[in-house]
Structure 1
Amino acid sequence: MIPRVLSIAGTDPTGGAGIQADLKSIAATGGYGMAVVTALVAQNTRGVRGVHVPPAGFLADQLAAVSDDVEIDAVKIGMLADATVAGVVSDWLRRCRPPVVVLDPVMVATSGDRLLDPDAERALRELIGHADLITPNIPELAVLAGASPASDWAGAVAQALAVSRRYRVLVLAKGGHLAGGPVRDALVDAAGGQAVVEFRGERLETHNTHGTGCSLSSAVATLRVRLGDWAPAVAAARDWLAESIAAGAELGVGGGNGPVHHLAGLWSRGGLRTRPRPARLAERWWQQVAELRRDIEALPFVRGLAEGDLDRAAFEWYLAQDSCYLRDYSRALAAASTLATEPSAQRFWADCAQGALVEEQRLHRALLGDRPRPPAAPSTTRYVDHLLATAARGDYRVLIAALLPCFWLYQNLGSRLAARSDAAHPYRAWLDAYGDAEFAAQNERAIDLVTTAAVEADEPTRDRMWRAFRASCEHEAAFFAAPLAARPAG
């Protein structure tokens, strides 16, 4: 079902905010947009020049015309110019009771000036009782909380909890006005045991922020209908808005704070699915293997390696298997170099293939000498078979996804264990090999190559990449479990 979403808001003749932005946002996130105008606003990307409020009776006529004919799935409410307008909308909501109501409480200008007189503010507060979710920015949250604007994220969340408790409404606290660091938002529900669901994203350096509040709230309303719950709706809306903000400069609209490119995703892909940014995809994949990473760290072999009390025979057995593994891992890396089309990627994978052989010679022979190696264990064989079979299929993108865990898991684990150990640690040489700066740089480059390839791929290819990555992570877990499970002789 396509959500039928009604925007009740003011206009923006330049198209970046208000009802015009709402309609684009609703369309971009998979809904059918409808609009009832509360005010005609003479504005552009530099500021507001004037506001004309149509008669309240005409607003009531607009609302009745829509609801008498169309089944409305969600409502987004934006600018309400005065108390009379807010009262008309409140009466209509009381009669119609739409399933989803999102209120963006437009109360404070970017300059910090209050936009509503006291009577209008009181009417807006009463209107909150008809909303399921409100989406105030930091200054608006402070007005609703009766406090000064929060100066940090903890203060913003505390104010959101107070507002949620006072008005018995879900609050989407937005941290975009706070300085520095990643952008954090939070879905706050004081009635649900003070539940707080946080969302993080990279801060984009751009002047294309005109209408972001309007756009986010209407996207959340649409996606709430499509996805059935608030948290996934907010997450999906944030991903879409980040993509739209990043592409905003392409529009070249206005000389002030320009609009976001609401339709960037649709124009580039011809669909509704958001293409994640590389950093976001990396975070998602890393979190999706969080339980597996915890399982690896809980293995007796890894705990013994961390504490330095690992049985020496088990460690040497592991090194011998690692030696077997690296020879075939090098072949898979070389295959990635052959399949890559971009010269810098070809060089990177080729250098890594050579490095795997050098590592096998340097570290393993230094610790094991020239003693005969045991045959490959089942866990080793299964892992290299997975890599070599993936290489044989000839899809560069899936192959490099399968190769990535041997960078990412080892660098993450090695760097943290090395930081906790001293020079006398019996396995310091192994820890240093995977915890040094050079390997960290290799790991970052590998993550960048894989995630960039993934976001540029179509959805089925991205899914195959993820499954190859996950399978390699599972093989890594089995590889770490094998030394003590095999009970090597001392």
Structure 2
Amino acid sequence: MTAIPRVLSIAGTDPTGGAGVQADLKSIGALGGYGMAVVTALVAQNTRGVRDVHVPPVAFLGAQLDAVSDDVRIDAVKIGMLQSAEIIGTVREWLARVRPPVVVLDPVMVATSGDRLLDPAAEDELRALCAEADLVTPNLAELAVLTGRPAATTWEHAVDDARALVQASGTTVLLKGGHLAGAACPDAIVGPDGVHELAGRRVDTRHTHGTGCSLSSAMATLRAAGASWPDALKRAKEWLTGALVHADALHVGTGNGPVDHFHELRRAQGAAGSWSQRAWDASADVRAQVDAGRFVGGLGDGSLPREVFLRYLAQDALYLGEYSRVLARASTLAPTAQEQVFWARSAESAIVEERRLHETHVESAASVPEPQMLAYTNHLHASGASYGELVAALLPCFWLYTDLGTRLAARRHDGHPYDDWLALYGDPAFAEATARAIEIADAAAREAGPRERARMNAAFARSMAHELEFFEAPARPALVDG
């Protein structure tokens, strides 16, 4: 373990920067490591495909490996495509001499088209290399080649294949479900101690070039920094999902483009001077009042009276019905297809959550709109005259809840009476949606003139004030007729 892991990538190149050693170096840097690279092949490729490959003499590969290890203490090695049995043998001999603490193997064996990339002798040598790696990260087609089985078409079949590779080689397998059909995108660490599964969602983008390279090098970096394999997968998956979410904004190439490796850094660098950050900072007093209020305090430690929580949920269910209509309005006003899809999906999620609240907690017949709910939704509807103002009005319902959910998640424990609420708003998927809403709001602010930005500021501030009232009202005595 080291504070700044020194991670060596052994792989081919991609001159467009989306895959190979270029993607590895970006991934290592994005996850806090220091990246180094030994090149196995020079590849002439772009986002539309490979044009030519030049493989230097194997002796030069050995010279590169020795040059690094003779001078630098290596904390982890990530191995990508190795084109021949001779190349694989050279890497295996070097690993046996140097014995790096962490070895992650991405066994590149099958092209996206389904074509086999290695001859049988090289495949056998690569199977032997699996036994010398700490983690192997095949896709489903490569897993089938390594195990000699048909390619898995279900998650259960894939888990069985991964177990077979673990048993045959003694290694640990990162099982990736991205090539399975459906909206879900699970991954798992499969090792001698069992299966550690991590749920995920599929990101709607065609820009996935280099995801395998990026994930494997991220895992090597995180493991070298001291994380367990399951914890490394959780962090790497969160980062890679965000990289896929932001991939469309890169506009690199005309084919299947790369992911945005530095989306977290870019967001952090731009946050201090962004419209959204200024609006958020201006709401500090209101947010402090939310934190100090009876509702949020009781929600965090579990002391909130049940009747107060149910009263809040009843109003929240009504709110979400109107909120979904406002989100649908944002979708019709959005200037790009990507933003239209984002708001439409957010509207659908609000409707689903409203239904869940009614089914699990709230009797709809007893839910009567209260003044704070009507005031908030009336404000949202009134903000729909322009796209920027509407987006600014919607943003607090993303951001404030993500902020609370993330901070209160640390107070979750077995038997916490409101654990489902804390889990919902502490979910990384909701945090990703919030990050996207922030980006959209900042883009709208950049396009807006001074008057429009002033209306955005006012809309954001009013929504924050309504959020405070929405939290506080349920803890007050209910009004009774006569």
Q: TM-score, normalised by structure 1?
A: 0.61
How far apart are 1:472 and its partner, in Å? Answer: 8.3
How far apart are 1:432 and its partner, in Å? Answer: 5.0
Match of 2:46 in 1: 44
Match of 1:229 in 2: 228
Q: One-letter code of the match for 2:258?
A: P
> Which sections of structure 1, spanning at least 5 residues, go unmatched?
272-292, 297-317, 338-342, 349-407, 418-429, 437-441, 478-490
How far apart are 1:473 and its partner, in Å? Answer: 2.9
**SS, match of residue 201 in structure 1:** coil
How far apart are 1:466 and its partner, in Å? Answer: 4.6
- Answering whether residue 155 of structure 2 is matched by residue 211 of structure 1, we say no
Which aligned pairs between 1:116-127 and structure 2 lie closer than 5 A?
Answer: 116-127=118-129
Q: Give per-residue Cα distances to partners, 1:123-143, cap 9 Å, x unaligned.
A: 111111210000000100000
**SS, match of residue 50 in structure 1:** strand
Match of 1:71 in 2: 73
Distance change >3 Å, CA 463–CA 138, structure 1 → 2: closer
Which aligned pairs between 1:49-448 and structure 2 lie closer than 5 A?
Answer: 49-189=51-191, 191-192=192-193, 195-270=194-269, 322=307, 326=311, 415-416=359-360, 431-433=363-365
User: What is the alpha-carbon distance in structure 1 between the residues aligned to residue 131 and residue 182 of structure 2?
Assistant: 34
User: What is the alpha-carbon distance in structure 2 between the residues aligned to residue 253 and residue 66 of structure 1?
Assistant: 32
**SS, match of residue 26 in structure 1:** helix
Distance change >3 Å, CA 126–CA 4, structure 1 → 2: same
Q: One-letter code of the match for 1:165?
A: Q
Distance change >3 Å, CA 207–CA 323, structure 1 → 2: closer
Q: Give per-residue Cα distances to partners, 1:320-378, cap 9 Å, x unaligned.
A: x948995xx69x99xxx9xxxxx979x99xxxxxxxxxxxxxxxxxxxxxxxxxxxxxx
How far apart are 1:270 and its partner, in Å? Answer: 4.0
Q: Give per-residue Cα distances to partners, 1:267-323, cap 9 Å, x unaligned.
A: 11149xxxxxxxxxxxxxxxxxxxxx9xx9xxxxxxxxxxxxxxxxxxxxx9xx948
How far apart are 1:199 and its partner, in Å? Answer: 1.1
Match of 1:275 in 2: none
User: What is the alpha-carbon distance in structure 2 between the residues aligned to residue 455 and residue 239 of structure 1?
Assistant: 19
Q: One-letter code of the match for 1:26?
A: I
8 Å contact kept, 1:411–1:434? no
User: What is the alpha-carbon distance in structure 2 between the residues aligned to residue 432 and residue 204 of structure 1?
Assistant: 34
How far apart are 1:414 and its partner, in Å? Answer: 6.0
How far apart are 1:464 and its partner, in Å? Answer: 4.3
Aligned residues with identical type, % of pairs: 52
How far apart are 1:176 and its partner, in Å? Answer: 0.6
**SS, match of residue 171 in structure 1:** strand
User: What is the alpha-carbon distance in structure 1 between the residues aligned to residue 156 and residue 410 of structure 2?
Assistant: 37
Q: What stretches of structure 1 move > 2 A for 4+ residues in a row?
A: 321-326, 408-414, 430-436, 448-452, 454-457, 461-474
Q: Give per-residue Cα distances to partners, 1:363-408, cap 9 Å, x unaligned.
A: xxxxxxxxxxxxxxxxxxxxxxxxxxxxxxxxxxxxxxxxxxxxx9
User: What is the alpha-carbon distance in structure 1 between the residues aligned to residue 367 and residue 74 of structure 2?
Assistant: 57
Q: One-letter code of the match for 1:197?
A: H
**SS, match of residue 111 in structure 1:** coil
Q: Give per-residue Cα distances to partners, 1:25-73, cap 9 Å, x unaligned.
A: 0000110000000111111111111111111111111000111111110
8 Å contact kept, 1:4–1:74? yes
Q: TM-score, normalised by structure 2?
A: 0.62
**SS, match of residue 72 in structure 2:** coil
**SS, match of residue 12 in structure 1:** coil
Match of 1:24 in 2: 26
Distance change >3 Å, CA 322–CA 185, structure 1 → 2: closer
